[in-house]
Amino acid sequence: MTRFLFVVPPLTGHIAPLIGVAERLRSRGEEVMWVGDGQKLRSRPPEQRGFAALRSLWTDFLVPLAEAMVPEVEGAVAAFRPDVLVVDQQALAGALVAERSGLPWATSASTSSELSDPLAGMPKVAAWLDALMADLRRRYGGSDSLGDLRFSPYLVLAFTTPELAGTPHVQAPVAFVGPSLPPSDPGSQAAMPLIDPAKPLVYAALGTVNAEAGGRFLAACAQALGDRPGLQAVLADPQGLIPRPPANVRTVAYARQQEIIAAADAVICHGGHNTVCEALAFGVPLVVAPIRDDQPIVAEQVVRAGAGVRARFDRAGASQIGGALDAVLNDPRYRAGAARIRDSFRAAGGSRAAADRLAALVRTYVG
């Protein structure tokens, strides 16, 4: 029996892909333990974009999270005595402790944005990031390694496929396993029954966004949908930003997202990697309105794959959103593009393939 320690940040979108992998390992008789950090996240200014958002992500979240988690991961390693660590890209403490302990570790790339080397054209920003990681190593790693803490030299599990993410531009062994979709939550609020099962269904969700910015965009979505009475829509509105939706739009505080997407004809979202992959796993084309962080890169991947249309989150009004929605619903090329990605996901294997790769890592490195 092999022991796997999963190291994750307090972010649902980063934990979700590993749930199915952990269950696969347990079903094979392996032992799994999780370690994370339960502290309340420090909020980041919602208006930040570009380098300001990147700097805030690292200095206000990732580095403090690593500092807080190193003792927790060390304690878990001492108590559980794992053979292998499975480390989310943003849980840098896992990589630091694995290096210092001499344990093999795999990276969980819950988003594909870093695989494309987005800083290739910004050497000063890349050098700044390298310096941050080098400082973490000096303080916590005890290693002379110069490798990127976000990419294990043993294995990188990429929960996507080249058909969507393109060719990786990192010096690491990348295994494209496709999305590992979590089980649907039976206790969540479903948006069923539908208003009219004969009408095309649109699902719109933005995750957790700033109320002012999110409210403006959701209101524009609701208006665009209301202007199209031949459609029906489910709009995820956990903050209650749309109190009086049009007659053909149903708002829900918390939806069974996979069930709704499986029945949908189009999805409007902000480019979160999990939502995008869930839509494409069912062959559903997208209207993507990215906000920041990895979302613009994911949106570009969707457009490049011919599986959707990009909209401007800050500026798109009802007419622009409606036009993008008309395109993905009425032009068969977008559904064909989404179907190609769906087929690549199915062939990649998901959680089963990820568990197989981890088993191969054990055979190679665990004596």
pLDDT tens per residue across span 182-200: 665 444 444 455 667 789 9
Q: Is 193 within the bounds of a domain?
A: no
Q: Is 59 within the bounds of a domain?
A: yes
What does the pLDDT average to over 309-332?
95
Q: What is the pLDDT of residues 242-259, one digit of tens each?
A: 889 999 999 988 878 888
170 with 90, same domain: the answer is yes
C-alpha distances (whole Å) from 247 to each of 172, 233, 317 are 51, 10, 20
31 with 161, same domain: the answer is yes
311 with 356, same domain: the answer is no
39 with 152, same domain: the answer is yes
Range of the domain at 104: 3-178+349-365
329 neighbors 265 (Cβ within 8 angstroms): yes
The pLDDT > 90 percentage for the chain reads 62
**Listed residue (214, 260, 259, 261) closest to 240, CA to CA:** 214
The reply to whether omega before 193 is within 30° of 0 (cis) is yes
Q: Please, which residues bridge with residue 49 across strands?
A: none
Q: Is 195 within the bounds of a domain?
A: no
232 with 332, same domain: the answer is yes
171 with 51, same domain: the answer is yes
- pLDDT above 80: residue 316: yes
Neighbours of 189 (CB within 10 A): 12
281 neighbors 262 (Cβ within 8 angstroms): no
Can you give the pLDDT at residue 183?
61
358 with 302, same domain: the answer is no
**Rounded-to-integer distance, Cα 117 and Cα 113, Å:** 8
Strands 174-176 and 201-204: unpaired
Can you give the pLDDT at residue 42?
53
**Taking all residues of the chain, what is their mean pLDDT, rounded to a whole number?**
88
pTM above 0.75, yes or no: yes
229 neighbors 199 (Cβ within 8 angstroms): no
Can you give the pLDDT at residue 187?
46
Neighbours of 230 (CB within 10 A): 10
Q: Is 171 within the bounds of a domain?
A: yes
The pLDDT > 70 percentage for the chain reads 88
**Rounded-to-integer distance, Cα 54 and Cα 158, Å:** 21
Can you give the pLDDT at residue 230?
95
Q: Is 105 within the bounds of a domain?
A: yes
Q: Please, which residues bridge with residue 34 across strands?
A: 6
81 with 212, same domain: the answer is no
Between 345 and 367, name the one with better pLDDT: 345
**Domain count of the chain?**
2
Q: Is 192 within the bounds of a domain?
A: no
**Rounded-to-integer distance, Cα 218 and Cα 235, Å:** 8
281 phi and psi angles, rounded to 5 deg: -65, -25
CATH code of 69's domain = 3.40.50.2000
247 with 326, same domain: the answer is yes
Entry field: residues in the chain: 367
What does the pLDDT average to over 270-293?
93
28 with 72, same domain: the answer is yes
Can you give the pLDDT at residue 293?
79
Neighbours of 212 (CB within 10 A): 10
Q: What is the pLDDT of residues 53-77, one digit of tens each?
A: 788 888 888 999 999 999 999 999 9
178 neighbors 110 (Cβ within 8 angstroms): no
Q: Is 186 within the bounds of a domain?
A: no
Q: What is the pLDDT of residues 97-153, one digit of tens each?
A: 999 999 999 999 988 877 877 666 678 888 888 888 989 999 887 666 667 899 999
- pLDDT above 90: residue 211: no
Can you give the pLDDT at residue 241?
87
Q: What is the pLDDT of residues 23-42, one digit of tens each?
A: 999 999 999 999 998 665 55
Helix, strand, coil percentages, rounded to 5, for the chain: 45, 15, 40
Q: Please, which residues bridge with residue 85 across strands?
A: 5, 105
Name the band, by pLDDT with cuts 50, 70 and 90, for residue 304: very high
233 with 108, same domain: the answer is no
Can you give the pLDDT at residue 146?
67
Q: Write down the residue that tokens 């990419």 correspond to.
A: 151
Can you give the pLDDT at residue 208?
60
Tell me the H-state helices in the chain. Answer: 12-27, 50-56, 63-80, 92-101, 123-136, 162-165, 211-226, 257-263, 273-281, 295-304, 318-330, 332-348, 350-365
- pLDDT above 90: residue 232: yes
**Listed residue (57, 226, 247) closest to 150, CA to CA:** 57
**Listed residue (186, 207, 254, 264) closest to 232, CA to CA:** 264
Q: Is 258 within the bounds of a domain?
A: yes
Distance of CA 255 to the CA centre of its chain: 18
215 with 162, same domain: the answer is no
